[in-house]
Structure 1
Amino acid sequence: MGFFADFKKFLLKGDIVALATAVIIGGAFNKIVGSLVADVIMPIIGLFMGGQNVNNLFFTLDGSEHATLEAAKEANAAILTYGNFLQAIIDFIIIGFVIYLLLKGYEKTKKKEEAAPAAPKGPTQEELLIEIRDELKKKNM
């Protein structure tokens, strides 16, 4: 088998297709959570922090004073933007919580599948043949 045939076989495995689907959905989900945090949660947190934009929270490492984050960046000051870090932590917590909920739901479905009783077994082929033989004996007597 050639390289491309092996590669095609690899790509068309069910696990690879499922993984690719999960990555695409995960990327879209990340955008939704990012928007939720940036556009809904962070403004509410900023409101409780005196009405400031949390993304603009920073301090300079060189001790210089700047009124805004943009001014500090413009001055090429060494800055630490802890507001962005706070937003990333909130993103992570929300995504982790949603994954936790999905996995709990998945575990429940697995437990139901395991707990489901097995289908009742019918007689084996040998038992059926013995039964037929016995019925034929009764008729011939």
Structure 2
Amino acid sequence: MSVFKEFRDFAIKGNMIDLAIGVIIGAAFGAIVSSIVDDIFMPLIGIIIGGIDFSSLVLTVGEAQVRIGLFVNAVVKFSIIAFVLFLVVKAINSLKREAAKEPVETTPAPSREEVLLTEIRDALRARNAV
């Protein structure tokens, strides 16, 4: 029973749950990026460069097939994911910098009574010094 309790404590830690959520969101984001690249970007790029369908672009060397189109798709997907992650990290770092800034404490201006008492004190010191 001790191993089960230990595993339960490990599994319900906040970091583990955050990691699991991150993996699930990452998988969903990967599917979205794949769809954007495969269904929108690559057909447009293919039209621009002369109607080439990148997904079927293959270079045959002997009996081997080098699927250049799939590699180009993977590079485009990686670039999009890397750029989005860069923006996310940049936003998080910006928020961290903002949170790290300590508010500047301004001392309030002295009240009339404080100013008057300070003047009286200074006058008494000056009188006693003579």
Name the TM-score class by shorter chain: 0.7 to 0.9
Secondary structure of 2:52 counterpart: coil
CA deviation map 1:31-75 (0-9, x unaligned): 00000000000001111221121111111110xxxxxxxxxxxxx
Runs of 4+ in 1 over 3 A off after TM superposition: none
Partner of 2:115: none
Residue matched to 2:67: 81
Letter of the structure 2 residue corresponding to residue 91 of structure 1: K
Q: CA deviation at 1:118?
A: 7.5
Residue ranges of structure 1 left out of the alignment (5+ in a row):
63-76, 121-141
How large is the RMSD of aligned CA atoms in angstroms?
A: 1.7
The counterpart of 1:94, out of the listed 70, 80, 95, is: 80
Distance in 1 between the 2:61 and 2:70 partners?
A: 16
Q: Which residue of 2 aligns with 1:103?
A: 89
**Per-residue Cα deviation, 1:82-141 (whole angstroms, up to 9, x for no partner):** 000000000000000000000111011101110132789xxxxxxxxxxxxxxxxxxxxx
* Identity across matched positions, percent: 38
Q: Partner amino acid for 1:29?
A: F
The TM-score, its normalising length taken from structure 1, stands at: 0.71
Q: Which runs of 5+ in 2 are unaligned?
A: 107-130
Q: How do 1:98-137 residues align onto structure 2 when only pairs under 5 Å count?
A: 98-117=84-103
Q: Distance in 2 between matches of 1:116 and 1:108?
A: 15
AA partner of residue 35 (structure 1)? S
